[in-house]
Structure 1
Amino acid sequence: MLEASTDIARWRIAAQRLAGFDLPDAASVVTWLGCVQAQDLPGALTSVALRTPDRSLAGVRDALDSGQIVRSWPMRGTLHLVPARDIGWMTGLTHPRTFAQSRRRREELGIDETMIERAWELFATAHAEQGPLPRAAVLEAWKSLGVDEVKGRGYHLFLLLCQMGRMAQGPHDGTETRFVDLDAWAGTRDEPSREEALARWAEMYFRSHGPATEKDFARWTGLTMADVRAGITDASGLERLDIDGTAHWMDPATPDRAAQHREQIDAIHLLPGFDELILGYADRTATLAKRHEQLVVPGNNGMFKPTIISGARAVGTWSVKKATKTLPARLLPTGFTSRLPAAVKLERAFAALPD
């Protein structure tokens, strides 16, 4: 018998590999999840590391430095970690729509197609001469385009060229991720047809996030419902099930995986803000009760607080009191209900976070 919300919550933890840890490294985790929201880069590195056997932040940075994953804007106008081999077809699906939606903003900033092409030429030349470039160096190369004169023009050119799949953020130099020419940096990239790409994205999403609905997938990617349904129709290897009268899709192996790793699934998980377990769905109530959503996303402003997961449910949020010369960093939990785990268990989970 399906206990809808409880089973969905556990199955999603299993699907997202927050238990089991059979994916060998950071690049494999990002490839499995498809995209990992990364506007907060330290949080994104932690989200990926939590799903690897060694829980190493250095391993995630190594995947960025080696060109296996990149940081870009493939969807929702938000930075994500993405497999380098997949960024081209992902932006190929999403760019036409985002480009049309940004027309008025481009006009306000005085950006036309000639300027976009010139920005690309200047960047590609500088990249060929210097390799991966910090943001300041790219803006310097773009000075002739008036990026100092019009506030927001430089940022929007970064956004556009990344959304077009031409550039992305790659290696991390200790202070920031540097911008790269994807053709030069990422090597061979997959080039499926549009129909194949839609099916592949549906397979990626539902295998790694399921059980989930078509609305979840549409919200996650920003694709039209027509594209979402086409992708689901052509996807292979997914199981459909109806929960409370709504169609969900998932990897058919997920329930058995959840049963196998039940103890790990029900353990305490300290997740950073923007983790896919909370953010990756239009309807996240299986994990986060509706009445508690404002405590995680205050004012529905798009800023997600770090969450405490216990028994497969969100039971609180957490922050860190920074270390001083005399005291170590300390966990500051805030519980939603009496289900908050004991302090000693929370401290143990805090000590086990990736470093």
Structure 2
Amino acid sequence: MTNSDIMRHRLRNQLLGGSSHTSAATVVQWMGCVQADDYAAAKRSISARLLAPRYNDTDRLVNEGQLRRSFLLKPLPALVTAADNVRIQPFTLSGVQQAGRRLHRMLGIDAALLRQSRRQLETALRDGQQLTRTQLTPLLGLSPQDLRMPFLLMDAELEGVICNGPLAGKTFTYQLQSHWPMNYDAALALWLLTDRYFRSRGPARLHDFVAWSGLSVPQGKKGIAMARLAYQVVDGEAYWYAADMEVTAPVIRSMKELPKDGEFRITYDG
């Protein structure tokens, strides 16, 4: 396997060298998650991976709750299927919260403010209310320019108080979280993360996976062992991929232009 082969495999596995997917749900499930700090860019990334981009059903699936905007891996929102979010987020939760606390200290957010904001959000969103961040900000006594607001919302999401609701135009709303899973299978979550990543983004290195997932190196190694991946050494580095991947490098006849923060550009660590 050469560096050129690796690139062509990655293009195919990321569904950029041709795709049979007809729904955003199956694209997001295949990818594990799609970064959605910029929702419009996330939709373009999904469109690039659909058989018929003009039939992108992301908005409908978000409104129906089949796709969730979640802080799945890092303190940055991503689109994930509702089923995968339930199985994976409890496993990654502590790491995301730890990263968030570092940002809290920079902004002067303390435990008392977090508790207060959670109570205020519960009050504002009771009785089935679905409100945007702009609508919620004054209800928490903050100005529109207050940089703390998105971090208070993220904390409430990670604590299982709120989740995204349907879109209001092009803007996400928030609603109370109806169910927060208390029990989960850590081994299944790690296997899912590992399998999703290397099937959709392999061949890739261990530190690519760790950088993408936010897991520790020991966790990454454990996941690779659990998923029983195959690998080849190229220029002294091991590149891992799903054991049933066709190792003959595909022919890529066309490429699709992606937004600057598209998945292909942020998936690998250098």
Q: Distance in 2 between matches of 1:126 and 1:232?
A: 44
**Which residue is 2:23 aligned to?**
25
Q: Per the alignment, do residues 217 and 170 of structure 1 end up closer, same or farther by CA in structure 2, a change over 3 Å counting?
A: farther
Q: Distance in 2 between matches of 1:183 and 1:257?
A: 47
Q: Deviations over 1:182-215 (max 9, x none)?
A: 436xxx9796422221121111111111001110
Partner residue of 2:146 out of 151, 155, 162? 151
Instruction: Summarize the alignment of residues 1-355 of structure 1 with structure 2, pairs less than 5 Å apart.
Output: 2=1, 4-56=2-54, 58-103=56-101, 105-107=103-105, 109-143=107-141, 147-148=142-143, 151-183=146-178, 192-236=184-228, 238-255=229-246, 259=250, 262=251, 265-283=252-270
Task: Tell whether the 8 Å contact from 1:30 to 1:82 is kept in structure 2 after alignment.
Answer: yes
Letter of the 1:63 partner, please give it: L
Q: Per the alignment, do residues 89 and 112 of structure 1 end up closer, same or farther by CA in structure 2, a change over 3 Å counting?
A: farther
Q: Distance in 1 between matches of 2:90 and 2:134?
A: 27
Task: Tell whether the 8 Å contact from 2:69 to 2:79 is kept in structure 1 after alignment.
Answer: yes
Query: 1:243 Cα deviation (Å)?
Result: 2.2
Task: Tell whether the 8 Å contact from 1:135 to 1:178 is kept in structure 2 after alignment.
Answer: yes
Q: Distance in 2 between matches of 1:166 and 1:177?
A: 16
Q: Which moved more, 1:115-124 or 1:27-36?
A: 115-124
Query: 1:105 Cα deviation (Å)?
Result: 4.3
SS at match of 2:83: coil
Query: 1:168 Cα deviation (Å)?
Result: 3.5
Task: Tell whether the 8 Å contact from 1:211 to 1:249 is kept in structure 2 after alignment.
Answer: yes
Task: Tell whether the 8 Å contact from 2:22 to 2:51 is kept in structure 1 after alignment.
Answer: yes
Task: Tell whether the 8 Å contact from 1:16 to 1:209 is kept in structure 2 after alignment.
Answer: yes
What percent identity do the matched residue pairs reach? Answer: 27
Query: 1:253 Cα deviation (Å)?
Result: 4.1
Query: 1:59 Cα deviation (Å)?
Result: 0.9
Task: Tell whether the 8 Å contact from 1:119 to 1:157 is kept in structure 2 after alignment.
Answer: yes
Q: Deviations over 1:207-231 (max 9, x none)?
A: 1110011100011011111211122
Structure 1 unaligned residues grouped into runs of 5+: 284-355
Task: Tell whether the 8 Å contact from 1:167 to 1:182 is kept in structure 2 after alignment.
Answer: yes
Task: Tell whether the 8 Å contact from 2:71 to 2:96 is kept in structure 1 after alignment.
Answer: no
Q: Distance in 1 between matches of 2:42 and 2:145?
A: 31
Q: Deviations over 1:250-289 (max 9, x none)?
A: 1244336863xx2xx3313111121111211113xxxxxx
Letter of the 1:215 partner, please give it: H
SS at match of 2:246: helix
**Backbone CA RMSD of aligned residues:** 2.8
Q: Which moved more, 1:101-110 or 1:226-235?
A: 101-110
Q: TM-score of the superposition, structure 2-length normalised? A: 0.86
Q: Per the alignment, do residues 257 and 115 of structure 1 end up closer, same or farther by CA in structure 2, a change over 3 Å counting?
A: farther
Q: Distance in 2 between matches of 1:164 and 1:9?
A: 39
| Larger RCO (CA under 8 A, 6+ residues apart) | 2
Task: Tell whether the 8 Å contact from 1:26 to 1:52 is kept in structure 2 after alignment.
Answer: yes
Letter of the 1:157 partner, please give it: L
Q: Per the alignment, do residues 119 and 87 of structure 1 end up closer, same or farther by CA in structure 2, a change over 3 Å counting?
A: farther
Q: TM-score of the superposition, structure 1-length normalised? A: 0.67
Task: Tell whether the 8 Å contact from 2:190 to 2:223 is kept in structure 1 after alignment.
Answer: yes
Task: Tell whether the 8 Å contact from 1:47 to 1:275 is kept in structure 2 after alignment.
Answer: yes
Query: 1:23 Cα deviation (Å)?
Result: 2.5
Query: 1:42 Cα deviation (Å)?
Result: 1.2
Q: Per the alignment, do residues 109 and 275 of structure 1 end up closer, same or farther by CA in structure 2, a change over 3 Å counting?
A: closer
